[in-house]
Structure 1
Amino acid sequence: MKVIVLGAGVVGVTSAYQLAKAGHEVIVVDRQPGPALETSFGNAGEVSFGYCSPWAAPGIPLKAMKWLFMEHAPLILRPKLDMAMLSWMFKMLANCTTDRYALNKSRMLRLADYSRTSLAAVREETGLAYDERMQGTLQLFRTQDQLDASAKDVKALAADGIPYEVLDPEGCIRVEPALRHVREKIVGGLLTPKDETGDCFKFTNALAEKAAALGVQFQYGTTIKGFDIEGGRVRGIVTDGAPVRGDAVVVALGSYSPLLLKQVGISLPVYPVKGYSLTIPITDASRAPESTVMDETYKIAITRLGDRIRVGGMAEISGYTNDLGLARRRTLEHSVTDLFPGGDVSQALFWSGLRPMTPDGTPVIGPTKVQGLFLNTGHGTLGWTMSCGSARVISDIVSGRKAEIDATDLAISRYA
């Protein structure tokens, strides 16, 4: 079967790789000149199999109101007359209940844990190197209230059998020795030791080469205009060049997926939530992180990537904009220099990307009402984390096989 994958980010490339392994003829189409040049380019670098939670959680509406007035706010809202934005926000608020949080987190942990083993398998069979480390994620709490509130996450981790460790300040320093310089600023932490780190851009480019060796074709610099549908079945795509014909199409276009899908009457509740990052050269390794530290106060991840520190976070709801606000840069600099002043922020690369968020936090993976048209999108901040597992799930579904994990509640039909 000839399968067209739309999008050459980490989700699209891993999907293409798994589909090629399954024996399909695969072509990847993307508007950029190469792989991983949008949201996959400068993400936080954390592969968070355990630190994996929906943003829609009990107490978030109240916290959001407080964040809007913080100088270094983790949430920035720029309201506009946009029905898609308003609809998405109302749906997200509806998921901020204890029951919905537990259900959504369980779905996410199931897929993330599957992705952990899937990434390990890809690494073993390809030998890829991407500044990877397997030293876990430390969720760092600066206040007792934050530590107390982590109990709901501990409960969910325990229920799904995900390893974790609740740490006091000395335990945090044992995991991240550079924190000894700021001992007075922390009250504790939550360690998920199975988490990893790595450069998503390096990984995606290296895997694209492996996929090409399996016969995958990459058609870059091509704008996707729409679908070619005959008799309720997809037959290919329409582009700004020649049409591309195929037997199946997998949409992995991140935040841009709903814009294309609405042409065929599919309403996908995905909305862009902009994140920012700094990539900082390390000047003093003794004051740099060993793995990923999630600064819970600012919702910012500080990650070691080889000889660099990647600082990523914040959630800006402002539509399809990629401007670089200096206030956002100051927040990233404040978090990292407050905890790990081991890099030269004056030499940092400042970047922003659009995360494709669903209102319940869970990605959308599976078939649609159009025969032959499949989705693998809506991963939010966890595209890098969930990419390899999502790719295996969609490859099985496209191939007509039963996925190795329960994927029924990952499909778009859950929003019907």
Structure 2
Amino acid sequence: MKKHLVVIGGGITGVTSAYALIQQGFEVTLIEKNRYPGMETSYANGGQLSASNAEVWTHPSTLIKGLKWMFKNDAPLLMNPTPTWHKLSWMAEFVAAIPKYRDNTISTARLAIESREYHFAWAQAEGIEFDHKRKGILHFYRDKKGFEHADQVSKLLAQGGLPRRAVSLEEIRAIEPTLHGDYYGGYFTESDSTGDIHKFTYGLAKACERLGVKILNGHEVLSVAANGQSAFVQVRHASETDSLTFDGIVICAGVHGRRLAAQLGDRLNIYPVKGYSITVNLPDSASQAAAPEVSLLDDETKLVTSRLGDDRFRVAGTAEYNGFNLDIRADRIQPLIQWVNQCFPGIDTRKVVPWAGLRPMMPNMLPRVGQGKKANVFYNTGHGHLGWTLSAITAHQLAGHVMAWSQDPISVAGSAVLQQA
């Protein structure tokens, strides 16, 4: 009799996990609190499938910038100075992970390269349309210091198997003619791509249903428990409470995973790092012609872009350490609009849709994938700023862990939780 797994969370990691598990022959139920999958952090991110952005943040310069920008409201990195135990413990572990910066960046690049092959294959197999553009990603730098750091990062990415090439200002203009401004130089990764994460997540969720996954939308998870042989989930739906039983449980609940992991006896030190985006509607031919086709990353402002079809342009970025706050602040959105006005003055920015989401980040910037203390508890979460980029490969890895447990649940019981890039 095949095992029945419950996946908690209908964002990109939950949906890819459900897809990978159903492909391996498991019975799968996916529980999502919203009416549709992909409605929170997987709704309006930067849209990049970016192996070239695999550099982890655990670099000494991040700490320096964080202190420098702490009281600047429009800073790319902003931390609420009010201390909490969760924030302090996370920051302490972040600092402790700095010596692993090089190794973790290389490992993340390797996995990002492997992950996109699954993304492309799944989208093709299931006929998912998600405004996919395979035109590469251009990183550009405004000064020599930023460009020289990018050179060191490129060497690490090369060790991970990712080629990207340095480009001059003239080459930047040739790659993306709509970009205005003078820059020191850039790096271009032809193999990277972009798309609409919400369309991908929703399309893959529909494919999951076709394959037999039972999706319980509009179900809020109140509590979880497991004893090694069975997993128990209490949910609320339409003011009614129900208790469900499964053979195993997979936590893909993003920033909410820490609370659920604690109920299962595991420590999952995820912190919510808020990011903002704007979707600029391109209402006329002039705006459409003025918007870039190639995806960009501006190193100084830490903003990324993606062109979503003919009539939408996404700009996203910033990192805000402010707990579970989801307020969309005008002083954080306005710099994104100003950036569009400066870099692409021909775009009409009268119709801009702001958004904010909470990235689930582990202190070492590596997602947690594998088994918990109890044999039938699994995790696939904590992907941070590379949630979409790494989601397919971590789902594939998760399915391997679950398969090993299903074939020999006794020998793997109590094994250590695996943490991988």
TM-score range, shorter chain: over 0.9
Cα deviations by residue, 1:152-206 (Å, 9 ceiling, x for unpaired): 2111012122110111111111211112x42x2x111111211110000111111
Alignment of 1:394-413 (within 5 A): 394-400=398-404, 412-413=417-418
TM-score, normalization by structure 2: 0.91
Query: In the alignment, is residue 235 of structure 1 matched against residue 231 of structure 2?
Result: yes
User: Which among 353, 364, 370 is matched to residue 368 of structure 2?
Assistant: 364
- Indicate conservation of the 8 Å contact 2:275/2:317, yes or no: yes
Q: Report deviation, 1:58.
A: 3.0
Q: Distance in 2 between matches of 1:224 and 1:94?
A: 33
Per-residue deviation at 1:131? 0.5
TM-score, structure 1 as length reference: 0.92
Report deviation, 1:233: 4.0
Contact 2:70–2:80, Cα closer than 8 Å, also in 1: no
* Structure 1: runs of 5+ lacking an equivalent: 403-410
Q: Does 1:337 align with 2:330?
A: no
Query: Counterparts of 1:181-330 in structure 2 under 5 Å?
Result: 181-182=180-181, 184=182, 186-230=183-227, 232-240=228-236, 241-282=241-282, 283=284, 284-306=287-309, 307-330=311-334
Q: Shift of the alpha carbon at 1:234?
A: 4.0
Which amino acid is the alignment partner of residue 298 of structure 1? T
Residues 1:177 and 2:177 are matched in the alignment: yes
Match of 1:137 in 2: 137
CA distance in 1, matches of 2:19, 2:95: 36
Partner Cα separation in structure 2 for residue 19 and residue 399 of structure 1: 9
Q: AA paired with 2:231?
A: R
Give the corresponding residue for 2:385: 381
Give, in angstroms, the shift of residue 25 of structure 1.
Answer: 0.9
Residue identity matched to 2:67 = M
Q: Which residue of 1 aligns with 2:119?
A: 119
CA distance in 2, matches of 1:234, 1:257: 19
**Pick aligned residue for 1:36 from 23, 35, 38:** 38
SS at match of 2:373: coil
- Structure 1, residues 338-373: CA drift from partner, whole Å, max 9, x if none? 212343322111110000011111111111111111
Report the residue type matching 1:82 in the other structure: T
| SS of alignment partner, residue 210 of structure 1 | helix
**CA displacement at 1:128 relative to structure 2:** 1.2
Contact 1:234-1:371 at 8 Å conserved across structures: no
SS in structure 1 opposite 2:404?
coil
**2:87 counterpart letter in structure 1:** M
Give the distance between the partners of 1:297 and 1:251, measured in 2 at CA: 35
Q: Give unpaired runs (5+ residues) of structure 2.
A: 407-415
Deviation at 1:253, TM superposition (A): 0.4
Q: Percent identity?
A: 34
For 1:329, the aligned partner's letter is I
SS of residue in 2 equivalent to 1:330: helix
User: How big is the shift at 1:286?
Assistant: 3.0
> Which 10-residue stretch deviates more, 323-332 or 105-114?
105-114
**Counterpart residue identity of residue 252, structure 2:** A
| Equivalent-residue separation in structure 2 for 1:320 and 1:279 (angstroms) | 23
Give the letter for the 1:125 counterpart: A
